Chains A and B, each alone.
Chain A
């Protein structure tokens, strides 16, 4: 036996905290700005870089990856060292991790306002930055697992389980969702298209919430809440159940973002039922947090740290109840595309993430600088300001979302739409946009107060690094056991819980294909297996046999592999069948026509400007939607959409059947001044599109790349791309000229109009491309006239 003195690396923790607070202010300030733009369109300032549709991705990325990301790393670095009783394995890797992550954030802050984006929500960053994220994440992973390797504490605490799940899953999600073919250093196209791209994206998007915003913060809760409350954690067995249930179930829930879309019904149903099943596992985490405070509730009165942590956990409980609720198909029918969803994510981001961050910072910073918090009063004021801010935010978004959802579907006695004009439904919720802006701004002010408070605290003290003395057991000659136990890995793979889990899951998988009678038999078998497992486990526990969970909790490698398997099952089960569908024949019979070169270029502008942040391209099968927008969107209409543009929010109307609905002049007028055609609209103007010149030389290269992705362009298509691009553009400019509007054929606006006029037009609407030299005055709309 020997004693060993450990000095923890708290410098990295201090750095991450500073970065988190700084980027938190930036991310939330951008949030307040975009909120104001929805209420007052003039706040877009008329320049590209400050326009809502480019700033909204900056806001989401900054809050998720810069604010919560840095906070998470601070919490993980601080708690892991102490829970594992060792310093982080490598100071160099910690440094690379810190500075690399900050560089990525700066790159994001520069590229997103420039319109360099993949348009996949929360994964908007282009491929070189994606690569950097992968590299830095691997650096973090190596550092973390290396630290696990040299730990001086045999057992892994539940916080560490959550960190492991985070590191493994985020890597899988990021890599699979970001697969893309680069076109240039700043542009790439998703390898997936249409339905597949949508499913992969929301598998990622939902699990970014799960494994970036939830699991690491749960780990942080498990460390900092009992520390701050000085109370025991409520229940170890609850930890086991809710951890494994959470990592296994969460990964399936992604399709709840795509209810009533063109995603196959079975995938939608899986997304819904797994979301419903998430309710209890999520509340397991909340319970373990809240019940840890048992007998210490009086401490809430004095301690701002506990106020924040407990309110944070409560908001977590609220958001994880609202989530399953919104995932029920009939509720989603009302809430999807509305502000209800926006309110929901902010309950999570501001209430759960923001409050957990504040609680952790208020607890940590005084300790990291060996002093006391500068002002408890200011922290209290921050708490109340932020709480009222969140409530204003959430309530205004509930009202706004439900109001708009109901107005969209409201009908007259004769079945026609009560509010056929979309702008009416927008004007109705505008007061709520102002309330939301107020609530969000209050939260921001509170956050700035915290920054000031933490700064004063840090200035009052000196950086101190935590120390600990551990007793390292020198490997004593093992007492000769009576019977040699099986090697560790055999014990792991033959563990009863694992075997039962595999058996039950295997039987369950067959429910995917079974007919009623067989399905009932299978369900009976599942119940019998579960019952048997229960009896066996109970008996083993009573016999005092060592627990299998205890075994894997002492073996990081086994634990990590099992976690990986748990998250892969759901992903593979949903993604694989959908990706295999690729060769399926479109139900509509006729083959979809690929985009013309000009339309393809226009589509890239649609992506660049971030139109998807306010407009969906997915008409759901409801009469109220088809009356308003046109026929239900079908899966095969999107097979050449790399990436998909279904969107997730309708601040403006759906655009899927926009093609041919209005004349070119309408689009021209609308893009330059949306209120000229739609009085009351809050859409920003896009005047630069008329001035910017299209990079016409890119057209054949883009077709070549699309051909590689499987879009059936012929070589002749590619050779004639530039000529066809020009003739289609001249058709549009000629049509505009007859109305007295003169636009250069190679201006960006012409390409965008070509794309918008193509939206939602099937093979029956798109004629064989006119050869150059055809009637030059025929407008695009004229030449595409069809019946719909």
Chain B
């Protein structure tokens, strides 16, 4: 077909033919135009879907609902978890992945305080420790972890931290805070 196609012009020896446009190419062209018009109509003229922030708040609300974890956290429940080797094992894994960089692999303290020396900055009770992990102490640079890790992993890591109490890991950071009251 291209040999029979009308010759448009010759530039520096380059012949330029004037073939028809392939149908499949025209199909792509028109489809993309129609799709775009439809997209604009849907989102910006008819506003049949919420914007990206609207979509996000819907998604976030749903996740929050799904996550709503009404398991009460008390000293007793946390101490019960300490007795459960699976939970403590999980907690240890979470600790190594997320906490060890500041508190040391044995909890001996690096950037963050020593967790093995029996001294505590924000309370020694299981609920107090859980609260620090979950909500953080932003002013001191302790991140709030519940948002990232979720309630279950935060409980597990709190349980693991309770097992570190008094292990006095070697090379530990100097004590900070108050000694635990018996």
Residues of chain A at the chain B interface (Cβ within 8 Å) = 79, 82-83, 85, 153, 155, 157-158, 223, 226-227, 232-239, 241, 260, 265-266, 268-269, 272-274, 276-277, 279-281, 283-284, 287, 291, 294-295, 324, 329, 412, 414-417, 420-421, 424, 511-512, 514-516, 519, 523, 621-623, 626-628, 630, 632, 660-666, 669, 676-679, 739, 781-782, 784-788
B156 to chain A, nearest CB (A): 12
Which of B55, B111, B141 meets A661, CB within 8 Å? B141
Q: Which of A85, A329, A669, A787 contacts B111 (CB 8 A)?
A: A669
For the complex formed, measure the closest distance between the CB of B56 and the CB atoms of chain A, giving whole angstroms: 3
Neighbouring A residues of B40 by C-beta, 8 Å = 269, 273, 511
Bound-state CA distance A247–B13 (Å) is 27
A739 to B141, CA, bound (A): 13
Tell me which residues across on chain B come within 8 A of A79, comparing CB atoms: 12
Return the chain A residue nearest B101 by Cβ: A677
Render B97-141 as a binary contact track against A, CB cut-off 8 A, 1 for contact.
Answer: 110011000000011100000000000000000000000001111
Mask for B36-54, Cβ within 8 A of A = 1, else 0? 1101110111100001110
- Does B28 lie within 8 Å of A283, measured CB to CB? yes
Q: When A415-B67, A632-B56 are in contact, do A295 and B141 touch as well, CB less than 8 Å?
A: no
Q: Looking at chain B's contact residues, is the secondary structure mostly helix, strand, loop, or mixed? A: helix
Number of A-B residue pairs with CB-CB distance less than 8 Å in the complex they form: 193
Judging by beta carbons under 8 Å apart, are B18 and A417 in contact? no
B20 touches A235 (CB 8 A): yes
In the complex, per-residue mask of B6-21: 1 if CB is within 8 Å of any chain A CB, else 0: 0111011111111111
Whether the pair A260, B52 counts as a contact (CB closer than 8 A) is yes
Binds A, one of B80-88, B146-154, B158-166: B146-154
- Closest partner residue, chain B, to A225 (CB atom): B14
Tell me the B20-77 residues at the A interface (CB within 8 Å): 20-22, 25, 28-29, 32-33, 35-37, 39-41, 43-46, 51-53, 55-56, 59-60, 63, 66-67, 69
A523 touches which of B37, B97, B152 (Cβ 8 Å): B37
Query: Considering the chains assembled together, what is the distance between the CA atoms of A9 and B139 in angstroms?
Result: 69
Q: Of all chain B residues, which has the CB nearest A274?
A: B36
Minimum Cβ distance to chain A for residue B106 (Å): 15
Q: Chain B contacts of A511 at CB under 8 A?
A: 40, 45
- Given known pairs A627-B147, A782-B139, the reply for A232 and B17 (CB within 8 Å) is yes
Tell me which residues across on chain B come within 8 A of A621, comparing CB atoms. Answer: 52-53, 55-56
| B32 close to A277 (CB less than 8 A) | yes
Cβ contact within 8 Å between B143 and A661: yes
Contact residues in A for B181 (Cβ distance below 8 Å)? none
Which residues of B are found within 8 Å of A622, using beta-carbon distances?
56, 59
Contacts of B66 in A (CB 8 A): 414-415
Interface centre among A79, A329, A663 (most CB of B within 10 A): A663
Q: How far is the CA of A279 from the CA of B66 in the complex (A)?
A: 41
* Complex partner residue of A786 from B3, B11, B138, CB under 8 angstroms: B138
Q: Which residue of chain B has its CB nearest to the CB of A508?
A: B37
Does A663 contact B141, Cβ atoms closer than 8 Å?
Answer: yes
* A779 CB, min distance to chain B CBs, angstroms: 9
Tell whether, in the assembled complex, residue B111 and residue A236 are in contact, meaning their CB atoms are under 8 Å apart: no
Cβ-neighbour of B17 out of A236, A266, A514, A515 (below 8 A): A236
- B153 — which chain A residues lie within 8 A by C-beta? 416
User: In the complex, A79→B25 CA distance in Å?
Assistant: 29
The complex places the Cα of A155 from the Cα of B37 at a distance, in Å, of: 36
- B8 in contact with A781 (CB, 8 Å): no
- Name 6 interchain pairs, CB-CB below 8 A, sorted by A: A265-B52, A277-B33, A414-B151, A621-B55, A623-B59, A782-B139
Q: Which A residues lie within 8 Å of B21 (CB)? A: 235, 237-238, 241
Contact of B43 (CB < 8 Å), options: A269, A632, A679, A784: A269
Q: A-B pairs with the 3 shortest C-beta distances?
A: A416-B150, A663-B141, A785-B139
Check A291/B2 contact, CB under 8 A, given A260-B52, A269-B43.
Answer: yes
In contact, B9 and A155 (Cβ under 8 angstroms): yes
Look across to chain A and name the residue whose beta carbon is closest to the beta carbon of B48: A516
Consensus secondary structure, chain A interface: helix
Question: Hey, which chain B residues are within 8 Å of A287, CB to CB?
Answer: 22, 25
In the bound assembly, the distance between CA atoms of A236 and B46 in angstroms comes to: 40
Measured in the bound complex, the distance between the Cα atoms of B25 and A665 in whole Å is: 60
Contact A272 B39 (CB under 8 A): yes
CB neighbours of A424 from chain B (8 A): 97
Query: Which residues of A sit under 8 angstroms from B151, Cβ to Cβ?
Result: 414
Bound form: Cα–Cα A555–B11 in Å: 16
Are A781's CB and B140's CB within 8 A? yes
Query: What distance in Å separates the Cβ of A265 from its nearest Cβ neighbour in chain B?
Result: 5
A280 to B34, CA, bound (A): 13
What residue of chain A has the Cβ atom nearest to residue B12's Cβ?
A82
Q: How far is the CB of B93 from chain A (nearest CB, A)?
A: 11
Shortest Cβ distance from residue A732 to the other chain B in the assembled complex, whole angstroms: 12
Distance in angstroms from A699 CB to nearest chain B CB is: 26
**With A153-B11, A232-B2, A420-B149: A626-B60 Cβ-Cβ less than 8 Å:** yes
* Most A CB within 10 A of own CB, among B9, B11, B33, B153: B11
- Closest approach, in angstroms, between the C-beta of B73 and any C-beta of chain A? 16
Chain B neighbourhood of A82, CB < 8 A = 12
Cβ contacts under 8 Å, A420 to chain B: 97-98, 148-149
Q: How far does the alpha carbon of A783 sit from the alpha carbon of B78 in the complex, in Å? A: 33
Q: Report whether A83 and B11 are in contact in the complex, using a CB–CB cutoff of 8 Å.
A: yes
Say which residue of B16, B28, B44 sits within 8 Å of A236 (CB atoms). B16
User: Contacts of A273 on B, CB cut-off 8 Å?
Assistant: 35-36, 39-40
Q: Which residues of A contact B32 (CB under 8 A)?
A: 276-277, 279-280, 324
Give complex CA distance A511, B21 in Å.
29
In whole angstroms, how far apart are the Cα atoms of A260 and B41 in the complex? 19
Other A-B contacts than A227-B14, A277-B33, 19 sampled, CB-CB below 8 A, are: A234-B2, A236-B8, A236-B17, A237-B18, A265-B44, A265-B52, A281-B29, A284-B25, A414-B152, A417-B150, A511-B45, A512-B44, A514-B45, A630-B147, A661-B141, A666-B102, A669-B110, A677-B111, A785-B139
- B residues near A785, Cβ cutoff 8 Å: 138-139
Contact B44 A269 (CB under 8 A): yes
> Do the beta carbons of A515 and B45 come within 8 Å of each other?
yes
Report yes or no: B143 in contact with A662, Cβ–Cβ below 8 A. yes
Contact at A415–B139, with CB atoms within 8 Å?
A: no
Evaluate whether A415 and B63 lie within 8 angstroms (CB atoms) in the complex, with A236-B18, A237-B18, A424-B97 already known: yes
A511 → chain B, closest Cβ, in Å?
Answer: 7
Contact present for B141 and A660 (CB under 8 Å): yes
Instruction: State whether A421 touches B152 (Cβ < 8 A).
Output: no
Closest to B33 in A: A277
B9, B11, B17, B102: the one contacting A234 at CB < 8 Å is B17
Check if B39 sits within 8 Å of A269, measured CB to CB. Answer: yes
Residues of A within 8 A of B60 (CB): 623, 626
